[in-house]
A = this chain, B = another copy of it.
């Protein structure tokens, strides 16, 4: 593996998607800064990447705190130029509207939208002087459609998509590639995958994505040349109804 003088910041490296993105970019020579709420849980990811010869730093990070986000990104950027930020914090919940408490609504928004705004803005602050960089936001079906019981989640995801669009239109001409990925898969954790397989759920298993494929999708976006950028990338398994 040839090391690059570049870092990728993965904010929300706690789940299936974030972990795989981190591994993919590490395998391509990037230094990875991985942040999640409880940094201790990053140990397996750190071990995997280091075993494969990659460079990675794990951090406990509350992405809803401006100072923590800024410090995390500055730290990454001082190690080597921050070339890619991937915002991947999720908060999928479903409640009838009358049972959607103030606390839930606000927390989902802070995690899935507000934290994305902070991550995007602080990344842009570091990238704009160099007039290059990539800021990718992870979306979901709820980014495009508000469904019954999804007032909190869809509201946050719609809001994140608006941030991505607004930033893309402002920053694209200044050399920053801002993209929004709509990951449309029913299940996306290794744990759930095992559970479905265990109970023989063949149709459900058919509509799961392989870890490698997720990492590859983000990597493809990063590989796009400046004259052929994609802003919104939907990704789903062949068998997924949509």
Contact = CB atoms under 8 A, between A and B. Distances in A.
A14 interface: no
A184 to B, nearest CB: 9
**How many subunits of this chain does the assembly comprise?**
4
Nearest to A173: B239
Contact of A166 (B151, B160, B236): B151
A96 interface: yes
A110 to B, nearest CB: 9
Interface in A186-242: 208-210, 212-214, 216-217, 220, 223-242
Contacts of A146: 161-169
A149 interface: yes
A224 to B, nearest CB: 8
Contacts of A23: none
From A212, A225, A228, A232, residue with most partner B Cβ within 10 Å: A228
Contacts of A118: 102
Interface stretch (A35-43, A46-54, A73-81, A121-129): A121-129
Nearest to A116: B155
A133 to B, nearest CB: 12
A170 B97 contact: yes
A236 B228 contact: yes
A60 interface: no
A72 interface: no
B234 A228 contact: no
Contact of A160 (B106, B155, B173, B239): B155
Contacts of A151: 117, 120-121, 162-163, 166-167
Interface in A79-126: 96-98, 100, 102, 105-106, 109, 113-114, 117-118, 120-121, 124-125
Q: Which 3 A-B pairs have the closest CB atoms?
A: A146-B165, A213-B228, A146-B166
8 contacts: A97-B166, A98-B128, A147-B166, A169-B241, A213-B225, A226-B237, A228-B235, A229-B236
Given A151-B167, A226-B237, A229-B236, 20 more contacts: A109-B114, A109-B159, A117-B155, A145-B165, A146-B163, A146-B165, A146-B166, A146-B168, A151-B162, A154-B162, A154-B166, A155-B166, A177-B238, A210-B227, A216-B225, A220-B223, A228-B237, A229-B235, A230-B233, A230-B234
